[in-house]
Structure 1
Amino acid sequence: MSTQTGEDFYQSEDDLDEDEATQYIIEQSLIQYRKLKGLNPSDLKPSEDPDEIFKAIKEGDEGALNRLVVQPETLSRVDERGWIPLHEAAVQENKIILELIFSGADVLCESETGTILFEAAASGNPDIISLLLDHRADPNLPLYSGHLPIHRVAYHGHRLALEHLIPVTKLHAVKESGMSPLHSAAAGGHAHCVEILLKAGYDPNFMLHPRLRRSYDDERRSALFFAVSNNDLQCSRLLLEAGAMVNQDPVNCLQVALRHGHYELINILLKFGANVNYYSRVNTTHFPSALQYALKDEVMLRMILNHGYDVKRCFDCPYGDNSHDYAPWTTSIIKDMVFCEVITVSWLKHLSAQVVRIMLDYTDHVSFCPKLKDTLQEQKQWPEICHVQRNARNLKHLCRLRIREHLSRLRLRAPAFLNFLPLPPRLKDYLRYKEYDVYSRGSMVNPE
């Protein structure tokens, strides 16, 4: 499944030389400027030496600028990018240069649609941001795409600039933009910005507007999904601890973490209630999809089984004791694929007995269809599997299964729930399958 990355999401605003979107934004700001000044398009044609003032700005030549800014037509010059001098001054690191340009164009920011402030946001210079705001640059005017300066600052991780923009960015402007700055900070992988925004009261469950979700194949919604997609444990933890809901995206965040094989990320998602029994939209299976990513890894397999994975569903073969009446599973997608078809393909069959043996720790007696049984009989674990199947399970194990059944999978998905039950600690650990918690044992032996 291909998805658009956080960087791709902002690429249209970052490529100043080639991007049509940025060119469009600049043109709109120039149109507004012309209206305010009462200028005709011919008045804004590049001069014979259009680079003169731009060169002075880039070089920080205050003497040349003092001479040039007194000429009104100089401030309306347009370079090959479509920029006017104020655009160039805003992206420099020199506050004095920007003040000189403002001295001759003190109302230019009022004519603007936010473009200059947005361009300055990329460099994140807090002095430049502050000066633009002092000259009435509006942080609540969006680009045509809906983005605000605060989104760009958060994406690039500019902490001080973000602190300048948070108090002046209005909530209604953020809502109308269709995305939260938390999405931007998570997409950029900047945990410090995520933390600042959460402390400022931004909602970790603000979901992308549908018009923005369409930009992604996975139709992602949450800031948490951006963080998990980036394999970013720190941002994910901050969002989860702030109350981010873990099962809100069309593609489950847990599925993404399982694909990454990131144990810590998987563990924290499970801790906050990730649904181990989700179903994939792409590869439809009769059994919950999480198992597909854990077949080769006992740590991940035990993690999802400990958190209430529906083992019984895997052995629910619609063919029963009859032979399967269609061709073996191939790489093509087959609707509602059953477990026995998946686990018996040539490149997975060597794992089948080990996976089944582990799964038997989480269930009572199950039945094997002929297809699965034929494959299991070829594996070295078959005698042990037969021993488990032929002998009655002990009462303690059956009681655990029964209690977990009554707790329901929803509660098993939130391990903190068990902490509030009036039960002895040893019993709680038993209900959590603590003896099979391979991940925790490994973490204690090899802490990172």
Structure 2
Amino acid sequence: MDFTERYEDTCSTIAVAARHGDCRQIQRLLRRGYSVDVKDNRGWNALHEAAAAGSSQCVRLLLTAAASCENYVNSLTHNSETPLYFAAKNGHVQVVNRLLKRGADINKMSNDLSCPLFAAVDGGHMEVVKLLVSKGAEVNGTHSTSDWSCLHQAVYKGHTEIVKFLVGLCSLEAVDDYGITPLFVAAQYGRHECLQVLANAGANVNCQAKDLATPLLIAAQEGHLSCVDLLLSHKADPNIYCNEDQWQLPIHAAAQFCHPRILEKLIPVTSRECDQGKEKVSPVYLAVLSGQADSLRPLLRAGYSPDAQNCRQFDYCCPLEMTLWCNSWNSDSERHQSREITQMLLAAGAHVMMPTYVFALQGNVPEHLPLILEHAGLPKEDHLKELVQTALKEMQSAPFWLPLLLKAGLDPTLLLQHKMLEEAETRVLNFLLEFINWKTLPSTMLQILARRRAEGTWTPQKHFESVPALTHLCRLAVRAAVGSDALSKSSFVQQLPVPTLLQDYLQFSDISSAYTYTAA
């Protein structure tokens, strides 16, 4: 049954009259002997109805007619609400005054732990609040299931004038069961005027909730710029760590929830210890985690390292690695932002570590490997050998990574290993062979190719039966002389004493353009 509705068939006749403020009807019914104490299915009697409706004269008549005024004035609904509670909740100051004079319990709690003062504060009824306080209402009690005080509720509802009235009476540092003060509530919900009143009254701007969050952290997280400004102007400390692991600061919240204007406020006042400090977490990680380039841009512009530190908290070795992993499960609509973030990190000088190369080779985020190779190129020496071995373990992705690695300057002969010859599919193997002299392969390799051809697992290009063209042999000789890495750079090739028409040919563009490869 829905007890929020009023069912007239369970409501007494005199209560109906009280609900409508019909004093004459009440008088007629009283003369005929009707009871004033009949309750409906919510436990309401006529006095509850009159108080809620704000009919002071009906209240007077009902109290006069009651057998026991003291008991009647404090009669309870099924939720333990009194007539005074309803009068206060609805802002009926005259009814409140009359009920108090007749002995109403000013601090009676309802089942949900509310009281007349809390109800008046919640409704923003200043006159009723002042009247109740002047008559002795408890201002520092807790009046909700989460232990909020009246000041908490006034701030939450944004009733600035009531907050101004209560700050001189209430404990400014009262906490709920989460350790949250009224000032924290103001910061959390963006109640700028209430926050200013509390801060000016001396409330602690650096208070911490049970989870160690500060008002500055919560304001930064929720994007309340004016509250952040106000807190900083009242000496809120941006360097108080807001979790037990001692790494989370307000700047991290602003970065994660993508509030760039707040970031710009926090960057100059936040200690750079978090940038690359051991066991700390750079806000760059949180900006990457947000997936919003606007969150990363001000940090890099201010000089935060694109490499940050090894982050055990998120289990990533660098922000670039986080970008790739996070983007691997993003939707297509989110990948554009991730690509921009990758470009920003690389442009800022992020070092590409081997795990990042390895992940990029798998082709889960195909747009990233070209970016990495364009900005960072191939790894050097032993790391290059490791890259090749890793690539060969990802043979299912070879159609994706092979043309990209060769374009970036990888010596194709490094890939001429048994695993490549044994496992590569036809299009991959044919593509690779176009970059070498296929007639001068070692006999063991030629045997593998012959066997695969006989088995029908490899179909060679027809021209592989012939000796390579002289022009092809010439460009192989040039590559051997200058190196694959140098030949991959257009700026180098353009300086060679060869006609412009041959420059693309030296870079094997005719081969690359004839093949189209995508991620597996």
For the criterion TM > 0.5, the same-fold answer is yes
Residue 133 of structure 1 and its aligned partner are, at CA, apart by 0.5
C-alpha contact 1:311 1:363 (8 A) present in aligned 2: yes
Alignment of 1:365-376 (within 5 A): 365-367=440-442, 368=445, 373-376=450-453
Deviations 1:350-399 (A, max 9, x none): x62222111101222334375664334333753537x51x4322333233
C-alpha contact 1:233 1:264 (8 A) present in aligned 2: yes
Separation of aligned partners in 1, 2:372 and 2:269? 34
Equivalent residue for 2:168?
Answer: 70
Are residues 1:397 and 2:502 paired?
no
Are residues 1:116 and 2:202 paired?
no
Describe the SS at the equivalent of 1:251.
helix
Equivalent residue for 1:304?
Answer: 405
Separation of aligned partners in 2, 1:286 and 1:184? 29
Change (3 A) 1:405 1:60: farther
Moved more, 235-244 or 300-309: 300-309
Alignment match of 1:243 (pick from 345, 349, 355) = 349
Residue 193 of structure 1 and its aligned partner are, at CA, apart by 2.5
C-alpha contact 1:277 1:290 (8 A) present in aligned 2: no
Residue 416 of structure 1 and its aligned partner are, at CA, apart by 6.2
Residue 408 of structure 1 and its aligned partner are, at CA, apart by 4.1
Are residues 1:180 and 2:282 paired?
yes
% identical aligned pairs: 25
Equivalent residue for 1:202?
Answer: 304
Matched letter for residue 492 of structure 2: L
Matched letter for residue 375 of structure 1: R
Residue 261 of structure 1 and its aligned partner are, at CA, apart by 4.7
Equivalent residue for 1:158?
Answer: 259
Deviations 1:270-328 (A, max 9, x none): 21134379999xxx9895323555646745432222223354344334xxxxxxxxxxx
Q: Based on CA coordinates, which of the two structures has the bigger radius of gyration? A: 2
Moved more, 269-278 or 166-175: 269-278
Separation of aligned partners in 2, 1:409 and 1:437? 15
Are residues 1:125 and 2:224 paired?
yes
Equivalent residue for 2:358?
Answer: 255
Matched letter for residue 88 of structure 1: V
Structure 1: any 5+ residue segments left out of the alignment?
1-45, 318-337, 344-350, 444-448
C-alpha contact 1:352 1:376 (8 A) present in aligned 2: no
Equivalent residue for 1:192?
Answer: 294
Alignment match of 2:389 (pick from 275, 288, 313) = 288
Equivalent residue for 1:87?
Answer: 184
Residue 60 of structure 1 and its aligned partner are, at CA, apart by 1.0
C-alpha contact 1:277 1:310 (8 A) present in aligned 2: no
Residue 154 of structure 1 and its aligned partner are, at CA, apart by 1.3
Taking structure 1 as the reference length, what is the TM-score of the superposition? 0.67
Matched letter for residue 359 of structure 1: L
Deviations 1:393-426 (A, max 9, x none): 233323333433444455567x466367445544
Equivalent residue for 2:195?
Answer: 98
Equivalent residue for 1:28?
Answer: none
Matched letter for residue 220 of structure 1: C
C-alpha contact 2:187 2:219 (8 A) present in aligned 1: yes
Alignment match of 2:372 (pick from 258, 262, 269) = 269
Deviations 1:235-274 (A, max 9, x none): 11122223323x2x3412x433343454443322221134
Residue 96 of structure 1 and its aligned partner are, at CA, apart by 0.7
Change (3 A) 1:47 1:175: farther
Separation of aligned partners in 2, 1:277 and 1:251? 15
Matched letter for residue 429 of structure 1: D
C-alpha contact 2:256 2:290 (8 A) present in aligned 1: yes
Matched letter for residue 170 of structure 1: S
Change (3 A) 1:173 1:136: farther
Separation of aligned partners in 2, 1:78 and 1:122? 21
Are residues 1:229 and 2:325 paired?
yes
Separation of aligned partners in 2, 1:439 and 1:358? 9
Alignment of 1:326-345 (within 5 A): 338-339=419-420, 343=423
Change (3 A) 1:406 1:71: farther
Change (3 A) 1:48 1:117: closer
Change (3 A) 1:409 1:183: farther
Change (3 A) 1:437 1:62: same
- Report the aligned-residue RMSD: 3.7
* Relative contact order higher in (CA < 8 Å, ≥ 6 apart): 1
Are residues 1:355 and 2:428 paired?
yes
C-alpha contact 2:362 2:397 (8 A) present in aligned 1: no
C-alpha contact 1:352 1:375 (8 A) present in aligned 2: no
Taking structure 2 as the reference length, what is the TM-score of the superposition? 0.59
Separation of aligned partners in 2, 1:291 and 1:277? 17
Matched letter for residue 156 of structure 2: K
Change (3 A) 1:288 1:278: farther
Matched letter for residue 183 of structure 1: Y
